[in-house]
Amino acid sequence: MLQQIKNRGWIVTFSGMCINLALGILYTWSIFKGSIEKSIKAGGEGAFNWDLSSLNDPYAICCLVFSFAMILAGKCQDRFGPRITAFMGGLLVGIGFIWISTTTSYAVWIIGFGILAGTGIGFGYSAATPPALKWFPPSKTGLIAGLVVSGFGLASVYIAPLSQYLLGIWGLQKAMLFFGIAFLIVVCVLSMMLKNPPVGYKPAVINTKGRTHPIIAAKDSTPGEMLKTGTFYSLWIIFFIGSGAGLMVIGSVAGMAKQSMGELAFLAVAIMAIGNAGGRIIAGILSDKIGRRATLTIMLTFQAVLMFVAIPIVGSSSTKPLLLVVLATFIGFNYGTNLSLFPSLTKDHWGLKNFGTNYGIVFTAWGVGGFVLGRVSQMLQAYSGAYTSSLAIAGVMLICGALLTFTLKGKEKITK
């Protein structure tokens, strides 16, 4: 019986990872943005007619809607289960992409990519992690959360080159149609594999002497109780900084790489995705060993250093492609750590009963960070023609975030 339960837990974990492998198309926006920009500059019949300062708007809106949809999706997941929630996500993403494939309208792209796809990504993403965590003990929280969300970060490894190929032979609209149909089918089918454990199920661990012992779980808190704690607001601000800085770079990495890599700039996006996914898994494992807070402090500090290092590299006209790719990979790595640390921190502090809703509220920091810093970055780049100002701002904010981790209180000890 235990072996059957264990196997089911891993099936749920990898099904959630594969759902995120589809939904992670969000991280390939910089390639789509490049195609839109090229169309604007070329002009002519059927071309995009957007203001250059608004190129990041569908992406920024998608990040914002994704994060706030997590609250509604979390409630849906807690009440109706992960299958229905993920299935709805697949439908919304598919409809959004199919709609934008029919037009170059700025308003439709805001609604289709930003609102419909953003909501769908929120529903699918929200449903992937909670059921997986429920099958495993607290000592594996970081690992399981890291594995599930690694799919979202890893998506660009295949989507970036596939997008470049489809854009080359079909153009942007037909590529969006392909992705819409494909991801509608993939997410809806995989949603059927998501399942919560039986009512009353308590995972147990074998200790070094071969004996089992009960798991001491965090107190299950309601969203109202969570919002009354200072820890929530500290975590929210730190998540805003860490995610916003990373999303700013992810949304523009293809443009940053264009000068030195030309048409191969999509490789920077794909390789960055490996770092993004790796950061989620490694941070999850490390946080199970040394604690979430210590891991978070290390990663934010490292990310701040990378932002300042990036300023002369991105601003140089003679930057070697390999150096840029390495830098992007490490920035992606550090960004990815946020997406395994914060669900783990949410579970550690406020339990699993209302995890979907609680993490949905915490996750709004991700969307607000991506929206604000993504928009600011694009405006600064359109005004100055360079990314140096936005990198400097992100670096300073990350230092503030690292210092803020020292105000966190609570559960650093993880039950084995």
pLDDT of the residue at 416? 43
pTM of this prediction?
Answer: 0.77
Dihedrals phi, psi of 205, to nearest 5 degrees: -115, 150
Nearest to 29 by CA among 126, 127, 99, 113: 113
Using alpha carbons only, give the angle 243, 348, 362 rounded to the nearest 5 degrees: 35
User: Which residues is 205 bridged to in the sheet?
Assistant: 213
Instruction: Locate 260 and state its tokens.
Output: 């030195």
CB atoms within 10 A of CB 353: 16
User: Which residues is 69 bridged to in the sheet?
Assistant: none
pLDDT of the residue at 253? 60
User: Which residues is 206 bridged to in the sheet?
Assistant: 212
Dihedrals phi, psi of 212, to nearest 5 degrees: -95, 155
The C-alpha atoms of residue 382 and residue 115 are separated, in whole angstroms, by 24
Q: Name the residue ranges covered by the structural domains of the chain.
A: 2-196+218-407
The C-alpha atoms of residue 261 and residue 29 are separated, in whole angstroms, by 18
The C-alpha atoms of residue 210 and residue 26 are separated, in whole angstroms, by 45
DSSP H helical segments within 116-222, as ranges? 118-134, 141-154, 156-169, 172-191
Dihedrals phi, psi of 195, to nearest 5 degrees: -155, 135
pLDDT of the residue at 259? 63
On whether the CB atoms of residues 130 and 13 are closer than 8 A, the answer is no
Domain 2-196+218-407: CATH superfamily is: MFS general substrate transporter like domains (1.20.1250.20)
pLDDT of the residue at 415? 44
pLDDT of the residue at 218? 58
Mean pLDDT by 10 residues, the chain (416 residues): 64 93 85 88 85 84 88 87 94 96 94 95 91 86 87 84 89 93 94 88 58 50 91 94 82 61 69 84 89 93 91 70 80 88 90 86 89 78 73 91 85 46
Counting Cα atoms < 13 Å in the Cβ hemisphere of 373 gives 31
**CB neighbour class for 382 (10 Å; exposed up to 12, middle 13-18, buried from 19):** middle
pLDDT of the residue at 256? 62
Tokens 């830098």 locate to 327
The type of residue at 288 is: D
Tokens 């994704």 locate to 66
Looking only at the bridges linking them, the beta strands covering 205-206 and 212-213 are antiparallel
